[in-house]
Structure 1
Amino acid sequence: MMMFTLKKFKCYSFFALSVLIGLTACKKQETVDSTLSNFRVINAAPTLGTYNVYLNGSVLNSAALPFAGSTAYLAQNAASYSLKFTYENTAESLLTKTITLSSSTYQSFYLINKPGNLDILAVTDDLAVPSTDKAYVRLINLSPDAPAFDLAKTSATTSITTNKTFKTASGFIAVDPGTFTLDLKETSTGILKAISESTTFLAGYHYDVIAGGLVNPANDTERTLSVQVLQIK
């Protein structure tokens, strides 16, 4: 009887472990706890500065965020919080703002604009995967002095998304997975303004395509316009 009970316990334990592994392997869009919010922070300020990020006084990053650097998603109770940015080696606040984390959502908070005019842009992330054989791409224009932009695969005759002005983002758009570059074009003229590095886009994953930097940088501490691709994690 003891042997039977032990075997049964092991069987139940294996089943419970299998369920746990299955749950932890779920994709990010499957938010289980409706009281929690999931958020990340991205540095899109068009300078050479690197930043530390604090939520209610607790640092979020393990290393200072460079341009286009991002934290991983962090789970937090839905509520309002203070989000603070400092330079890497100082504690003085460059920007402190109240943000609201909404329950059962994924949110991205982008640091934008130049020092002295820094701000935060909040965007809700729809991480649904309607088709598991597609990758998902979102263009977000975070260049303060830029015109509206279109995004297309290099040499493609049609655009992935069009007419994104400063501080606007497209939804996530399904594209065929593969390794390719992306062209950023001025909406009004069709002139090519920047090209991304060659990136491998994987099926089932979401990607931020950030138009960042400045069309007309004032000095060598400001970044020129570029296209940055971030796999969302």
Structure 2
Amino acid sequence: MKNVNLKTIFKTFIAVAAISTVFAACSKDKYEPQQVAGLSVIDAFPDTMSLDFYIDQTRVNNKRGLKFNDKIDYLNLFPGSRTLSIAKRDGRNALAHERFNMAPGVGYSLFILDTVKTNEKRFLRTEDDLSAPAADKAKVRFINLYNAMTSAVGAGLELGIEGKDTDLFTEKAFYEYTDFTAVDPGESITFNIKQGGVVKTTLPNVKIERGKIYTIYAKGNSAATIDSLKLGAAIYTHK
């Protein structure tokens, strides 16, 4: 049986999104179509804790622990029901786990949100639209992962571009996310995250490239005492 790099395969699949099957190794020297799913993992848990991420019984991040804002690019999974879990770095017991069904030919993002047993929102999984942006455009979506803790400060957030009169997205509460929308590329774009029209945090001087796909998310916790864990924003490219 020949070994095939599934990560490379899924990246190829993303680039040609119309393809619903990819090649994986089978018996002897022959190849037959084998469908895979893709999974990207983002640690959006506002804490200094270092985590391990598991798919079923396999630890994914062997070299070092996941920290707040760390991201694992798309991994390749055979479709079906998979158990995704987190544990303290080199710990034995899962802090949180959940079973998810993975559909063939689909890319997903999994956001780690919390390890507190009383918080039902431990993970957020999204199905990612990895189709190519329109000609001369990029694509952006927005996710509100800022845990405001109380309804008084928990009103929805907006995402806008500095200098634009109309916001890209409006009134997204904690745990809510938008579809991807087309935006113009630019060398130095400032994104504003607002609440009730008031800018709360920014992503300054971001380079948005033609043909690429981005997620911007609000992060942090209103109860945090460490500045890096308070309300902020992050952006990443889907790859």
User: Shorter-chain TM-score category?
Assistant: 0.7 to 0.9
* Aligned residue number for residue 24 of structure 2: none
Q: 2:205 aligns with which of 169, 190, 198?
A: 198
How far the C-alpha of 1:232 sits from its partner, in A, is 1.3
Alignment TM-score, normalising by the size of structure 1: 0.81
Mapped partners of 1:76, 1:64: distance in 2? 21
Alignment partner of 1:162 is 2:165? no
How far the C-alpha of 1:60 sits from its partner, in A, is 1.6
Q: Are the aligned partners of 1:47 and 1:222 in contact in 2 as well (CA < 8 Å)?
A: no
Question: Partner of 2:72: helix, strand, or coil?
Answer: coil
* Aligned residue number for residue 149 of structure 1: 157
Please list the CA deviations of residues 171-229 of structure 1 after superposition, one character each: whole Å capped at 9, or x if unmatched: 1111111121210011xx21111101422111111111011102x22433981010101
How far the C-alpha of 1:59 sits from its partner, in A, is 1.4
Mapped partners of 1:31, 1:51: distance in 2? 34
Q: Are the aligned partners of 1:31 and 1:105 in contact in 2 as well (CA < 8 Å)?
A: no
Q: Are the aligned partners of 2:96 and 2:115 in contact in 1 as well (CA < 8 Å)?
A: no
Alignment partner of 1:173 is 2:181? yes
Unaligned runs of 5+ in 2: 1-10, 22-33, 149-153
- Equivalent residues, number: 209
Mapped partners of 1:52, 1:28: distance in 2? 32
Alignment partner of 1:132 is 2:135? yes
Paired residue type of 2:106 = T
How far the C-alpha of 1:70 sits from its partner, in A, is 1.4
Paired residue type of 1:95 = A
Q: 1:185 aligns with which of 189, 194, 202?
A: 194
Unaligned runs of 5+ in 1: 1-22
Give me the CA root mean square deviation.
2.4
Over 3 Å counting, the alpha-carbon distance change for 1:143 and 1:157 in structure 2 is same
* Aligned residue number for residue 210 of structure 1: 217
* Aligned residue number for residue 41 of structure 1: 41
How far the C-alpha of 1:25 sits from its partner, in A, is 8.5
Mapped partners of 2:146, 2:51: distance in 1? 18
Please list the CA deviations of residues 96-118 of structure 1 after superposition, one character each: whole Å capped at 9, or x if unmatched: 21111112211111111353436
Mapped partners of 2:50, 2:227: distance in 1? 12
* Aligned residue number for residue 224 of structure 1: 230
* Higher-Rg member (1/2): 1
Q: Are the aligned partners of 2:185 and 2:209 in contact in 1 as well (CA < 8 Å)?
A: yes
Over 3 Å counting, the alpha-carbon distance change for 1:220 and 1:135 in structure 2 is same
Alignment TM-score, normalising by the size of structure 2: 0.79
How far the C-alpha of 1:123 sits from its partner, in A, is 0.7
* Aligned residue number for residue 73 of structure 1: 74
